[in-house]
């Protein structure tokens, strides 16, 4: 062994949520664990720390309390239909079934035992557009966002009764796996910064290094065929080290890596004004009462775009529009009630547990976020009139692509449809808003048929939105114990994978669409299973 070499029972590459969950389980079983991460110590918990903090459960106690009729059977049938998981996807399907059956006891109840609390009303996202999505609300938002989730899980690790068996290494980049007689026997890599080589010999190795979506070139290479060509600008909404390095190392060790084109990217990204990585983007939760226009200012249609139904389809539609980006047109009143950003950073009221502030924002609008976005974002323009707004939109893109006539036409038709009254709403966006508002969780966040050119609701606002990369739903193929599989289903002895690296289990348990909340949930679920077996 070289200098800098050590040994452990279990070596885990990646200290995100999946790696931490795996480490806890391995410690529970008295194993000596080394948890290695390329990032700094403060980033323990990985992307979960920045996440919004929604988890997917079917048949949870909260759903029962809210009178939501859900079950494992309904959840699984929605899952298969939405993800379009075929019989040939045997391991992804097996993982999906296992997650749906076990997510309440193994994820929900475990988190509750760690002190996690959920917001009182599950949210209803990914309802499905042309086929089933979530038939009922299932997105359980952690009170405290992903920050509280990661902090609690980290605290369990750092305060573990067998803490003495744990070695933590930050600033260590894993590059490869060592093998002997066809079995994986450890990992090696270099320190960052410094470039000092290190090596750990171990009985088992767990890959928990996240997905590929932090490397935009890789995202482009594995672009899904439904999405036509990748757009010129794709923002980065993933981890800066989610670069697929260990997917390559796993492949070199004989692993099967599947479905990398199953990516969960979003349609409404804007540039972060305090970027922490190249192309750093923020994913907006697109206002449902805004008009979604293409680069020319034409309303995208004939089926208008409305978020909350099918994110995969939104990305597909935007990519087919000229320029591969879009605009959302709204006014201040809509922005105050509906505009939101996914993640812990821009939801301080929920993140910091400030209930009064949260209630005030729900009732009177989120003024803090409105100010923050309009003051800082280079992708947002405002004006008192449509013609001025279009001038500013064109100034932003430094051309005359947005046509005033197209924008006026879209706005006047939409506003006129609203003015005819709900009994005569023949616009698909208005029909969907009506349906959304029937669920209290959406009603409180969605305007009641707000016209765009309402003088009392101004100023007008246009947001330029780019596709933003986020989650890898495909990945390293694993069996139900988390063991990495090679060609023909052969087990690669000693090698395990969990979390986003493994497509949350089986190399793609969501299929090509995810019901949302299945990512954090999937990391805990697969991390725990893998840690138990490694």
- Residues in the site for ligand FAD, rule: CB under 6 A? 13-19, 36-39, 43, 46-48, 50-54, 146, 173-174, 208-210, 237, 239, 241-242, 245-246, 342-343, 471, 499-501, 517-521, 523
C-alpha 97 chain-centroid distance: 21
Give the integer Cα–Cα distance in Å for 280 and 267.
Answer: 15
Please state the closest distance from residue 196 (CB atom) to ligand FAD, in A.
14
Q: Which is nearer to ligand FAD, 47 or 258 (CB)?
A: 47
283: left (phi over 0), alpha (psi -120 to 50) or beta: beta
Q: Which is nearer to ligand FAD, 55 or 389 (CB)?
A: 55
């270099």: which residue's tokens? 190
Q: Which is nearer to ligand FAD, 240 or 431 (CB)?
A: 240
Please state the closest distance from residue 390 (CB atom) to ligand FAD, in A.
31
Q: Which is nearer to ligand FAD, 15 or 334 (CB)?
A: 15
Please state the closest distance from residue 51 (CB atom) to ligand FAD, in A.
3
Residue 299 neighbours by CB under 8 Å, 6+ apart: 291, 292, 293, 410, 413, 414
Q: Which is nearer to ligand FAD, 439 or 519 (CB)?
A: 519
Please state the closest distance from residue 69 (CB atom) to ligand FAD, in A.
23
Please state the closest distance from residue 419 (CB atom) to ligand FAD, in A.
37
Cα radius of gyration rounded to whole Å, the chain: 23
Position with the least CB separation from ligand FAD: 16
Q: Which is nearer to ligand FAD, 59 or 211 (CB)?
A: 211
SS3 211: coil
Biggest CA–CA distance in the chain, Å, is 78
Please state the closest distance from residue 520 (CB atom) to ligand FAD, in A.
4
Please state the closest distance from residue 39 (CB atom) to ligand FAD, in A.
4
Please state the closest distance from residue 46 (CB atom) to ligand FAD, in A.
2
Please state the closest distance from residue 421 (CB atom) to ligand FAD, in A.
37
What six digits make up the tokens of 292?
Answer: 């979604």
How far is the CA of 46 from the CAs of 63, 169, 239, 416, 429, in angstroms? 29, 14, 8, 48, 37
Give the 3-state secondary structure of 269-300: EEECCCCCCCCEEEEEECCCCCEEEECCCCEC
Q: Where are the alpha helices (DSSP H) in 190-306?
A: 216-221, 245-252
What six digits make up the tokens of 224?
Answer: 């899904």
Q: Which is nearer to ligand FAD, 172 or 337 (CB)?
A: 172
Decide if 495 contacts 184 (C-beta within 8 A).
yes
Q: Which is nearer to ligand FAD, 56 or 325 (CB)?
A: 56
Residue 200 neighbours by CB under 8 Å, 6+ apart: 5, 6, 7, 8, 11, 34, 36, 186, 187, 188
Q: Which is nearer to ligand FAD, 60 or 294 (CB)?
A: 60
Please state the closest distance from residue 285 (CB atom) to ligand FAD, in A.
11
What six digits make up the tokens of 59?
Answer: 């048949």
Give the integer Cα–Cα distance in Å for 65 and 48.
Answer: 27
Please state the closest distance from residue 23 (CB atom) to ligand FAD, in A.
11
Closest CA to 512 of 257, 263, 220, 211: 263
Q: Which is nearer to ligand FAD, 75 or 297 (CB)?
A: 75
Closest CA to 309 of 219, 442, 422: 442
DSSP per position, 513-525: S--SSHHHHHHHH
Q: Which is nearer to ligand FAD, 74 or 246 (CB)?
A: 246
């Amino acid at each position: 062994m070289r200098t800098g070499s050590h040994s452990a029972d279990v070596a885990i590459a990646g200290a995100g949520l999946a790696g931490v969950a795996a480490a806890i389980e391995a410690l529970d079983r008295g194993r000596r664990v080394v948890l290695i991460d390329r990032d700094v110590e403060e980033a323990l918990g990985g992307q979960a720390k920045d996440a919004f903090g929604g988890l997917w459960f079917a048949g949870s106690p909260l759903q029962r309390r809210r009178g939501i009729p859900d079950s494992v059977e309904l959840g699984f049938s929605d899952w298969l239909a939405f993800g379009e998981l075929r019989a040939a996807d045997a391991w992804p399907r097996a993982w999906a079934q296992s997650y749906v059956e076990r997510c309440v006891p193994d994820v929900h109840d475990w988190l509750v035992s760690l002190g996690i609390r959920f917001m009182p009303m599950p949210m209803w996202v990914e309802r499905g557009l042309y086929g089933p999505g979530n038939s009922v609300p299932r997105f359980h938002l952690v009170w405290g966002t992903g920050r509280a989730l990661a902090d609690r899980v980290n605290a369990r690790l750092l305060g573990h009764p067998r803490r003495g068996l744990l070695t933590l290494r930050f600033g260590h980049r894993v590059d490869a796996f060592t093998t002997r007689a066809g079995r994986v026997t450890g990992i090696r890599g270099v320190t960052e910064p410094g470039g000092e080589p290190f090596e750990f010999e171990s009985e088992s190795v767990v890959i928990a290094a996240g997905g590929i979506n932090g490397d935009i070139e890789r995202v482009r290479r594995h672009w899904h065929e439904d999405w036509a060509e990748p757009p010129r600008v794709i923002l980065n909404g993933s981890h800066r080290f989610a670069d697929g390095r260990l997917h390559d190392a796993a492949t070199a060790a004989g692993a099967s890596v599947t479905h990398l084109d199953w990516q969960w990217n979003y349609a409404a990204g804007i540039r972060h004004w305090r970027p922490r990585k190249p192309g750093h983007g923020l994913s907006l939760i697109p206002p449902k009462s805004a008009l979604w226009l293409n680069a020319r200012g034409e309303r995208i249609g004939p089926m208008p775009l409305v978020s909350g139904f099918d994110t995969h389809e939104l990305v597909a539609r935007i990519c087919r529009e000229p320029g591969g980006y879009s605009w959302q047109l709204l006014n201040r009143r809509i922005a105050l009630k509906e505009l939101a950003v996914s993640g812990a950073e821009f939801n301080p009221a929920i993140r910091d547990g400030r209930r009064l502030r949260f209630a005030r924002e729900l009732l009177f609008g989120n003024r803090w976020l409105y100010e923050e976005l309009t003051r800082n974002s280079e992708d947002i323009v405002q004006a008192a009139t449509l013609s001025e707004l279009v001038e500013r939109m064109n100034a932003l893109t430094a051309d005359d692509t947005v046509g005033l006539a197209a924008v006026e036409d879209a706005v006047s038709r939409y506003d006129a449809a609203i003015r005819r009254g709900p009994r005569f709403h023949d616009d698909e966006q208005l029909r969907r808003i009506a349906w959304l508002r029937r669920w209290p969780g959406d009603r409180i966040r969605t305007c009641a048929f707000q016209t765009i050119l309402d003088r009392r609701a101004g100023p007008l606002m246009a947001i330029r939105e780019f596709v933003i990369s986020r989650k890898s739903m495909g990945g390293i193929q694993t069996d139900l114990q988390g063991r990495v599989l090679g060609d023909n289903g052969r087990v690669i002895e000693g090698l395990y994978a969990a979390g986003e690296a493994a497509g949350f289990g089986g190399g793609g348990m969501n299929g090509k669409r995810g019901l949302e909340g299945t990512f954090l949930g999937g990391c805990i679920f697969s991390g725990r299973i893998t840690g138990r077996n490694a």
